[in-house]
Amino acid sequence: MDRVLRVCALYPDLMNIYADRGNLLVLEQRCAWRGIRFELSSSGLGEPLDADAYDLYYIGGGQDRDQRLCAEDLIATKRDALHAAAARDAMILGVCGGYQLLGHSYVLGQDEIPGVGLLDVRTVREDGPRLIGNVAIEVSLGDVEDSILAGFENHGGRTYLGAGQEPLGCVLKGHGNDGRSGFEGARASNTIGTYLHGPLLPKNAWFADRLIATALHIDPSDLALLDDAFEQAAHLSARRAAGI
Ligand code: GLN
């Protein structure tokens, strides 16, 4: 089997809070264990983005200040490539600040930080506390088993789904997109946004495999089974922390 997963991390230095880079390490390791080659590239401020060269595009979470810098750059140098990548069904994952940037906009007081508009969501920094804590959601990817994601959220922005925009899942414990709707994240075809840090993938290895399979355009059952005893323990511990 000569498979290769080609990943591009956007702004890996600026959009990497709560060690979101750990998500990339999980993808790398799960590929390595299966003999799948893993190639990691990055695209930072001012750098172009290749719309065809990658199977998975990734953008982590960030502080408002860094997010603003990245948003300007994203629009100027990467938006068209991301739309082209989404159109050919590449996998695109945004976490927290990255999720907000995949939507239409993030409004902070008088300021509106534009997003790339791949997800029909809008984020607003309203009055009120940050939404912080352990979170568990039930995702709707069509699987009966293993459909719970557990993680940690910390965001000031409240995200609202446009009419017809599917969430990634429903909140079992925690705040989710806006603390009220019961929705968490958003998904449009192979573009996914979520508020779950932790980072997300070490606590939810099953989801890492879904991403790998989707990015490679293969069935998840075609991925070799791994001994996930530690990963299961991490998942259960994250669920327990959330109270599920
Ligand atoms: N800056 C954004 C907010 O506070 C995203 C934070 C994050 O990525 N954790 O809403």
Tens digit of pLDDT for each residue in 214-244? 999 999 999 999 999 999 999 999 999 999 9
Q: Is the pLDDT of residue 145 over 70?
A: no
Q: How many CB atoms lie within 10 A of CB 88?
A: 9
Work out the average pLDDT over 114-125. 97
* CA 201 – ligand 1 centroid, Å: 18
Q: pTM of the full predicted structure?
A: 0.96
70 half-sphere exposure, CB direction, 13 A CA radius: 29
What residues pair up with 19 in beta bridges, in sequence order? Answer: none
Query: What is d(CA 10, CA 98) in angstroms, rounded to the nearest whole number?
Result: 9
DSSP state of 181: S
SS (H, E, C) 128-164: CCCEEEEEEEEECCCCCCCCEEEEEEEECCEEEECCC
Which residues on adjacent β-strands are paired with residue 159? 123
Which residues are paired to 160 by β-bridges? Answer: 122
Sign of the dihedral through C-alpha 180, 210, 189, 76: positive
Q: Using the 8-state DSSP alphabet, how is residue 17 labeled?
A: G
Cite the active site residues: 96, 197
For ligand 1, the distance from its centroid to the CA atom of residue 87, given in whole angstroms, is: 27
Whether the CA torsion 42, 82, 61, 219 is positive or negative: it is negative
Give the mean pLDDT of the chain: 95
Asked whether the CA dihedral 5, 192, 169, 237 is positive or negative, the reply is positive
Ligand 1 midpoint to CA 151 (Å): 15
Q: What is the mean pLDDT of residues 90-101?
A: 98
Check residue 118 and report its DSSP letter: S
Protein residues whose CB sits closer than 6 Å to any atom of ligand 1: 17, 61-64, 67, 96-97, 154-157
Atom nearest to 60 CA in ligand 1: 8
User: Kind of pairing, strands 183-184 and 186-188?
Assistant: unpaired
Q: Could you report the per-residue pLDDT of 57-68, keeping only the tens digit for each?
A: 999 999 999 999
Residue whose entry in the numeric block shows the structure tokens 């998942």: 235
